[in-house]
C-alpha cells in the first residue's frame, strides 16, 4: 500500500469515527426533542426545543452528507485519486462549522430550523440575539464553502481519468460500453453536479439574506423559498444517492456477482440528473403563489424520479442478490436493509408529493416520517454498513455472529418502530415542529411517548455497533 493510499485510508477513518461520534450525539438531541413532544403539559422552555431541533436537523443532514462523501471518495480511489488533503481541509471546515452551529443554537438559541426559511431568522421576536443569526449564517457559509471545494475536488479527480460525457456514461446510451465506467463514478458525477447546484443556491440565499438584512434590497419571500428548497432538497437527496453509490460499489463483492454499468443504468442516472432539479417544487405545493404548471411539473418530476429508483437500483439490488451465494455480514445485511428502507421511505415521499394529498399532509409529522425512513433506515444503514466493511478490511477479526445479528435487529426494530410513530401522527394530522401539542392534537404526545421506547432500542443497538465497528476503526487508524 503506497503512502497516498494510506493517507486516503486514514482520512476516511477520521471521517467515519467522527460520524460515529456525531450520530449518537444527534440521536440524543432527537430523543430530547421527542421528550418535549411527549409531555402533555405546555412547553416551559420552547426556545430549547426549537434550537435543539435546528441543531439536530442540520447536524444529521451534515453528518450523513459528509460520511457518504467520505465513503464514496474512499471507494473512488480504486479508480481515481481524490485529494486526501482537500478531504482533510473539508474535515476541519466541517468541524469548525459544527462548533459555530452549536454556539448559535445551544449558546444563542437560534431556532429558525435547519433551512432557516426567509425571513424568520430576522424575526426572532426576542428568542435569539442577532449575533446568533450571524453566527449561524457564518457557519453555513463555512460548511458550504468546505463542501463545495470538496465536491469540486472529487469531480477534478474523476476528470483526470474520464471525460464529462464518459463520467456521465453517455456513451452507454449509444450502446457503446467503452470505456467501461463503474457505476460509482457515474453516480458520484451526477450527485456532485446536483450537489454543486444546491450549494450555489445556498450561496445566493445567504447573499440575499445579507442584502435584505443590510437594508439594500427588499427580497421576495417566494424566491427565497424556492432557492432554500433547491438547496435543502438537493443536499438531502444527493446524500442518499452517494450512499447508493457505496452500495453499488461494495455489495457485489458480498454477492459474488458483478454489478456493472449498462445502458439502463446510464439512462436512469442521467434522467435523475435532469429530474432532481425539478422535484423540489413539491415543497411549495401549499404556496398558491407558485404557478400551477410549476406545481404540476413538481408532481410529475417527483413521481418519475421513482421510476429509475425502482426499475434500476431497487430491481438491481434484488437481481444482484437473488439466488446469489451471499456472504451475510453486518455490512451486506445493512446495505440490503438500507435499500429496503430507502424504497419504503420513497413510497411515503411519492404519496406526499401528490398535490391533493399534500393538502392534508404538508408540514404534518408525515414529512419527518418519510425522511426519517430513508435516512434512519436507509442512508444510516448504508454508512454503518460501509463502516463495518471498512473496519473488517483494515482490521480483521470476528465478533460473535449472534451479537452482530442482535445489533442489526435492534437497529431495525428501533428505526422502524420510531418512524411508525411519525406515520401514525402524520396520518392523524399532528403538525410537525411543535414544542408541545394543543388539545386538538394531543394524541401526538402519546405517539411521542411510544417513540421514546424505540429510540432506546435504537440507541442500544448503536452502542453495541459502536463497540464493534468503532473499535475496529480506532484500531485501524492507530495501527
Partner 1 sequence: MRTCVVLLILGLPMALPAPDSPPIEDQYLYQALPDVPLKLSDGSEARLSQLSSGKPLLVTFVFTRCAGICSPLLRSLKGAAAKAEGGFRILAISFDPRDTPADLSALAAHVGVAQKQGWNFAIAAPADMQRIAKVTGFWFQWDSTSRQYDHPGLVLVVDRGRILRMRAGGTVPAAFLQEALEETRGKLAKSYPLPGKVAFRCFQYDPATGELAFDWGAVLMLLPGGVAIVLAVVVFRRGRTRVRISMKNSLMWP
Partner 2 sequence: MTVQLKALYLFLAIAALLILVFALAALSTTSSIPANASAASRLRKSFAILLGLVLLAALGLTLPNTPYPRQADVPEKVVFVVAKQFAFGLSETPITTEEQWEAVSSSAPLEIPAGALVEFRVTSFDVNHGFGVYTAGGRLLAQTQAMPGYVNRLRLRLDRPGKYPVLCLELCGMQHHEMRGAFVVR
Of 137 and 162, CB closest to partner 2: 137
Of 231 and 437, CB closest to partner 1: 231
Distance (Å, rounded) from C-alpha 446 to C-alpha 434? 14
The helix/strand/coil state of 364 is strand
Query: Residue 289, interface with partner 1 (CB under 8 A)?
Result: yes
Q: How many CA atoms lie within 13 A of 177 on its CB side?
A: 8
| In the complex, minimum distance from the CB of residue 144 to partner 1, in angstroms, rounded to a whole number | 12
| In the complex, minimum distance from the CB of residue 327 to partner 2, in angstroms, rounded to a whole number | 9
Distance (Å, rounded) from C-alpha 79 to C-alpha 352? 39
Contact stretch for partner 2 (CB under 8 A) within 144-152, 219-227, 453-461, 465-473? 219-227
Residue 427, C-alpha cell as written in the block: 396520518
Query: Residue 288, interface with partner 2 (CB under 8 A)?
Result: yes
Query: Residue 289, interface with partner 2 (CB under 8 A)?
Result: yes
Residues 385-424 that bind partner 1 (CB under 8 A): 389, 392-393
Asked if 187 and 84 count as a contact pair (C-beta separation under 8 A), the reply is no
Residue 39 touches which of partner 2, partner 1, none (Cβ within 5-8 Å per kind): none
Measured between its terminal Cα atoms, the distance across the chain in Å is: 14
Asked if 82 and 76 count as a contact pair (C-beta separation under 8 A), the reply is yes
State yes or no: cis peptide before 179, omega within 30 of 0: yes
Residue 392, C-alpha cell as written in the block: 473488517
Torsion angle of C-alpha atoms 381, 27, 95, 194, degrees rounded to 10: 50
Residue 139, C-alpha cell as written in the block: 457557519
| Angle at alpha carbon of residue 266, lines to 264 and 267, rounded to 5° | 65
Residue 5 touches which of partner 1, partner 2, none (Cβ within 5-8 Å per kind): partner 1
Of 132 and 242, CB closest to partner 1: 242
Distance (Å, rounded) from C-alpha 23 to C-alpha 465? 12
Residues 333-362 that bind partner 2 (CB under 8 A): 336, 339-340, 343-344, 347-348, 351-352, 354-357, 359-362
Distance (Å, rounded) from C-alpha 160 to C-alpha 177? 19
Of 138 and 426, CB closest to partner 2: 426
Nearest Cα to Cα of residue 194 among 242, 138, 125, 245: 242
Interface residue with partner 1 among 80, 247, 339, 340 (CB under 8 A) is 80
Q: How many CA atoms lie within 13 A of 290 on its CB side?
A: 21
Of 258 and 396, CB closest to partner 2: 258
The helix-helix angle for 84-102 and 46-76 (nearest 10°) equals 180
Residues 241-260 that bind partner 1 (CB under 8 A): 249-250, 253-254
Residues 295-324 that bind partner 2 (CB under 8 A): 295-296, 299-300, 303-304, 306-307, 310-311, 315, 318-319, 321-324
Of 117 and 466, CB closest to partner 2: 117
Interface residue with partner 1 among 44, 222, 311, 453 (CB under 8 A) is 222
> E strand or H helix at 48, and its extent?
helix 46-76
Nearest Cα to Cα of residue 421 among 1, 3, 30: 30
Contact stretch for partner 1 (CB under 8 A) within 22-30, 113-121, 216-224, 239-247? 216-224
Asked if 337 and 415 count as a contact pair (C-beta separation under 8 A), the reply is no
Residue 249 touches which of partner 1, partner 2, none (Cβ within 5-8 Å per kind): partner 1
Interface residue with partner 1 among 214, 288, 398, 400 (CB under 8 A) is 288
Distance (Å, rounded) from C-alpha 61 to C-alpha 29? 14
Interface residue with partner 1 among 61, 112, 193, 445 (CB under 8 A) is 193
Exposed e or buried b per residue across 150-169, where buried means at least 16 C-beta atoms within 10 angstroms of its C-beta: bbbbbbebbeeebeeebbbb
Distance (Å, rounded) from C-alpha 405 to C-alpha 401? 6
Residues 40-59 that bind partner 2 (CB under 8 A): 42-43, 46-47, 50
Query: Residue 180, interface with partner 2 (CB under 8 A)?
Result: no
Residue 130 touches which of partner 2, partner 1, none (Cβ within 5-8 Å per kind): none
Query: Residue 207, interface with partner 2 (CB under 8 A)?
Result: no
Interface residue with partner 1 among 58, 230, 412, 445 (CB under 8 A) is 230
Distance (Å, rounded) from C-alpha 236 to C-alpha 247? 17
Residues 102-141 that bind partner 2 (CB under 8 A): 111-113, 117-120, 123-127
Residue 354 touches which of partner 2, partner 1, none (Cβ within 5-8 Å per kind): partner 2
| In the complex, minimum distance from the CB of residue 383 to partner 1, in angstroms, rounded to a whole number | 17
Residues 268-287 that bind partner 2 (CB under 8 A): 286-287
Asked if 50 and 435 count as a contact pair (C-beta separation under 8 A), the reply is yes
Residue 253 touches which of partner 2, partner 1, none (Cβ within 5-8 Å per kind): partner 1
Q: How far is CA 43 from the centre of its chain?
A: 29
Give the residues lining the site for partner 1 (CB under 8 A).
Answer: 1, 5, 75, 77-81, 152, 155-156, 158-164, 167, 189, 192-194, 196-198, 200-201, 204, 208, 217-220, 222-223, 226-227, 230-231, 249-250, 253-254, 277, 287-292, 294, 389, 392-393
Amino acid at each position: 500500500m503506497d503512502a497516498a493510499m494510506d493517507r486516503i485510508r486514514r482520512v476516511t477513518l477520521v471521517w467515519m469515527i467522527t460520524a460515529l461520534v456525531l450520530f449518537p450525539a444527534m440521536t440524543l438531541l432527537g430523543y430530547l426533542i421527542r421528550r418535549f413532544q411527549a409531555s402533555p403539559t405546555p412547553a416551559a422552555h420552547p426556545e430549547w426545543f426549537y434550537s435543539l431541533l435546528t441543531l439536530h436537523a442540520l447536524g444529521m443532514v451534515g453528518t450523513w452528507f459528509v460520511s457518504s462523501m467520505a465513503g464514496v471518495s474512499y471507494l473512488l480511489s480504486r479508480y481515481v485519486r481524490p485529494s486526501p488533503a482537500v478531504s482533510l481541509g473539508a474535515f476541519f471546515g466541517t468541524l469548525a462549522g459544527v462548533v459555530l452551529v452549536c454556539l448559535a443554537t445551544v449558546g444563542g438559541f437560534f431556532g429558525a430550523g435547519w433551512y432557516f426559511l426567509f425571513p424568520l431568522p430576522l424575526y426572532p421576536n426576542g428568542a435569539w440575539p442577532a449575533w446568533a443569526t450571524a453566527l449561524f449564517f457564518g457557519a453555513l457559509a463555512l460548511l458550504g464553502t468546505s463542501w463545495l471545494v470538496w465536491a469540486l475536488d472529487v469531480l477534478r479527480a474523476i476528470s483526470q481519468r474520464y471525460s464529462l460525457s464518459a463520467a456521465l456514461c453517455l456513451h452507454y446510451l449509444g450502446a457503446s460500453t467503452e470505456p467501461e465506467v463503474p457505476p460509482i463514478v457515474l453516480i458520484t458525477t451526477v450527485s456532485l453536479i446536483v450537489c454543486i447546484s444546491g450549494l450555489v443556491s445556498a450561496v445566493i440565499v445567504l447573499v440575499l439574506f445579507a442584502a435584505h438584512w443590510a437594508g439594500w434590497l427588499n427580497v421576495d419571500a417566494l424566491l427565497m423559498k424556492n432557492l432554500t428548497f433547491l438547496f435543502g432538497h438537493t443536499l438531502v437527496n444527493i446524500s442518499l444517492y452517494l450512499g447508493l453509490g457505496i452500495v453499488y460499489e461494495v455489495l457485489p463483492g458480498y454477492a459474488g456477482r458483478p454489478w456493472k454499468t449498462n445502458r439502463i443504468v446510464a439512462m436512469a442516472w442521467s434522467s435523475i440528473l435532469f429530474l432532481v432539479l425539478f422535484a423540489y417544487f413539491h415543497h411549495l405545493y401549499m404556496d398558491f403563489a407558485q404557478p400551477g404548471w410549476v406545481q404540476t411539473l413538481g408532481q410529475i418530476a417527483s413521481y418519475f424520479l421513482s421510476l429509475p429508483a425502482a426499475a434500476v437500483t431497487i430491481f438491481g439490488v434484488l437481481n444482484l442478490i437473488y439466488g446469489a451465494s451471499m456472504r451475510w455480514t453486518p455490512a451486506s445485511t445493512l446495505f440490503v436493509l438500507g435499500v429496503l428502507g430507502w424504497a419504503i421511505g420513497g413510497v411515503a415521499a411519492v404519496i406526499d408529493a401528490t398535490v391533493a394529498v399534500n393538502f392534508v399532509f404538508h408540514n404534518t409529522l408525515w414529512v419527518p416520517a418519510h425522511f426519517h425512513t430513508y435516512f434512519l433506515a436507509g442512508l444510516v444503514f448504508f454508512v454503518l454498513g460501509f463502516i463495518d466493511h471498512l473496519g473488517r478490511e483494515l482490521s480483521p477479526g470476528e465478533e460473535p455472529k449472534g451479537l452482530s445479528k442482535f445489533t442489526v435487529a435492534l437497529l431495525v426494530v428501533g428505526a422502524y418502530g420510531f418512524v411508525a410513530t411519525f406515520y401514525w401522527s402524520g396520518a392523524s394530522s399532528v403538525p410537525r415542529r411543535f414544542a408541545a401539542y394543543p388539545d386538538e392534537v394531543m394524541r401526538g404526545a402519546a405517539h411521542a411517548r411510544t417513540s421514546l421506547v424505540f429510540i432506546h432500542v435504537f440507541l442500544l443497538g448503536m452502542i453495541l455497533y459502536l463497540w464493534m465497528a468503532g473499535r475496529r476503526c480506532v484500531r485501524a487508524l492507530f495501527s
